[in-house]
């Protein structure tokens, strides 16, 4: 049996960020925490790969170089499409940067190890059991005991089910995606990403996307479809059919569910707190990487405070999150998604939404001149 003060379940951006922020605040945490990851880096991971400024800023506060020493594509132009209506958003700074997700995670894991984080790969967690002084964590490599467990094991991880009541404030989005070499006649302009919301009139609560990607030093395209399912009682949109209509040449995609953030969800219980996709992804766009990195910083501060006070109830964790820039960011996107995806199938509200989008883009484009 292994005993540690802090056990982080999940070696992706959220879990590694929590560990790195603890070490950044006090290097002595290196001997007090452990990260468990069920796979081995570089691990397969379905993801659009977009890292927004909220995640970039979290990395920079940890002293990471920017740009990261990885293949990447900065996106300076976003095209938002609704049938024949197009809103273009341009920026002097990248709106987001597209990475190949397995490469990004592997880089973060290697850097965490270099900085002193103990990371054990190939260890799958089977059960979580409350204990008098924390938690018992049963894995296929034996038992671990920890005063605090950080759930960073994603939307389908074991920790989320131990915290969140699926009967209340719960929404699970759907996603299909495929990565292919960029065709020679590709019409996507350089450093441009496209979000097409045209299918909302057919019940889609989201969009199809087309992102530029560099893989093996060659141009690729990440294409897919996102369905937020915020309005859970509405009929489900036919995702495979809509994706084929948008991209007839796309090979069979891969898919998975994404559990979404809600400001009303419980995010912690005594000795256990959630970060990243385990806590919930951005409902509007399904964004996960940037919020995951920012979640780690908030969790690290909550953990350090818990050990200082010898109080591990984490009663204020959700309030701490909601009061933070990340909490405001996610809550705003939750509110917009909640209203927009319910109203967008109807013609008049859809037109109003796109008038607002035009006005916001015009203002943003004016400010970047």
Per-residue pLDDT of the chain (369 residues; tens, 9 = 90+): 899 999 999 999 999 999 999 999 999 999 999 999 999 999 998 899 999 999 999 999 999 999 999 999 999 999 999 988 999 999 999 999 999 999 999 999 999 999 999 999 999 999 999 998 999 999 999 999 999 999 999 988 999 989 987 666 678 899 999 999 998 778 788 999 999 999 999 999 999 999 999 999 999 999 999 999 998 888 999 999 999 999 999 999 999 889 999 999 999 999 999 999 999 999 999 999 999 999 999 999 999 999 999 999 999 999 999 999 999 999 999 999 999 888 877 788 788 888 888 888 886 776 665
Q: Strand 192-196 and strand 206-215: pairing? A: antiparallel
- How close are the terminal C-alpha atoms of the chain, in Å? 60
Rounded Cα–Cα distance for residues 350 and 129 (Å): 48
The CATH number for 251's domain is 3.50.50.60
Instruction: Provide CB contacts within 8 A for 65, sequence distance 6+.
Output: none
> Which residue is associated with the tokens 């949109």?
237
Give pTM, 2 decimals. 0.95
Closest C-alpha to 276, from 330, 222, 314 = 330
Rounded Cα–Cα distance for residues 124 and 144 (Å): 12
Per-residue pLDDT, 287: 95
Per-residue pLDDT, 367: 63
Which residues does residue 121 pair with via DSSP β-bridges, in sequence order? Answer: 37
Query: What is the distance, to the nearest Å, from the Cα of residue 18 to the centroid of all Cα atoms in its chain?
Result: 14
Hey, is 185 helix, strand or coil? coil
List the Cα angle 108/119/269 in 5-degree steps: 95
Per-residue pLDDT, 175: 95
Per-residue pLDDT, 369: 59
- In the chain, the number of structural domains is 1
What are the phi and psi torsion angles at 260 (to 5°)? Answer: -100, 150
Query: What is the distance, to the nearest Å, from the Cα of residue 195 to the centroid of all Cα atoms in its chain?
Result: 17
Q: Which domain holds residue 177?
A: 2-367
Q: Which residues of 26-40 are buried (b: 16+ CB within 10 A; e: fewer)?
A: eeebeebbbbbbbbe
């Amino acid at each position: 049996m292994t005993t540690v003060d802090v056990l982080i379940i999940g070696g992706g951006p959220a879990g590694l960020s929590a560990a790195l922020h603890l070490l950044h605040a006090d290097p002595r945490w290196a001997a007090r925490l452990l990260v468990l990851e069920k796979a081995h880096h570089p691990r397969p991971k379905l993801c659009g790969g977009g890292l927004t400024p909220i995640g970039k800023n979290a990395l920079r506060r940890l002293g990471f170089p920017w740009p990261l020493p990885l293949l990447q594509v900065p996106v300076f132009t976003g095209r938002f499409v609704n049938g024949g209506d197009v809103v273009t958003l341009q920026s002097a700074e990248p709106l987001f940067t597209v990475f190949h997700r397995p490469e990004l995670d592997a880089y973060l894991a290697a850097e965490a190890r270099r900085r002193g984080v103990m990371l054990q790969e190939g260890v799958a967690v089977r059960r979580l059991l409350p204990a008098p002084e924390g938690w018992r964590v049963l894995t296929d490599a034996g038992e671990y005991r920890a005063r605090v467990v950080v759930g960073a094991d994603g939307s389908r991880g074991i920790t989320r089910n131990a915290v969140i009541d699926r009967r209340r404030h719960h929404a699970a989005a759907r996603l299909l995606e495929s990565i292919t070499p960029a065709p020679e006649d590709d019409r996507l302009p350089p450093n441009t990403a496209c979000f097409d919301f045209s299918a909302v009139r057919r019940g889609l609560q989201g969009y199809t996307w087309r992102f530029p990607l560099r893989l093996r030093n060659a141009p690729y395209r990440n294409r897919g479809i996102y369905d937020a399912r915020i309005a859970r009682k509405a009929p489900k949109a036919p995702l495979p059919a809509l994706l084929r209509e948008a991209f007839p040449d796309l090979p069979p995609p891969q898919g998975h569910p994404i559990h979404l953030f809600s400001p009303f969800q419980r995010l912690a219980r005594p000795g256990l707190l959630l970060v990243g996709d385990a806590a919930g992804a951005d409902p509007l766009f399904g964004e996960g990487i940037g919020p995951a990195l920012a979640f780690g910083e908030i969790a690290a501060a909550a953990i350090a405070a818990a050990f200082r006070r010898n109080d591990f109830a984490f009663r204020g964790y959700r309030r701490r999150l909601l009061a933070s820039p990340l909490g405001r960011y996610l809550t705003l996107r939750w509110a917009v998604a909640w209203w927009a995806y319910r109203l967008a199938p109807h013609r008049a509200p859809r037109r109003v939404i796109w008038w607002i989008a035009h006005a916001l883009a015009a203002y943003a484009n004016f400010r970047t001149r």
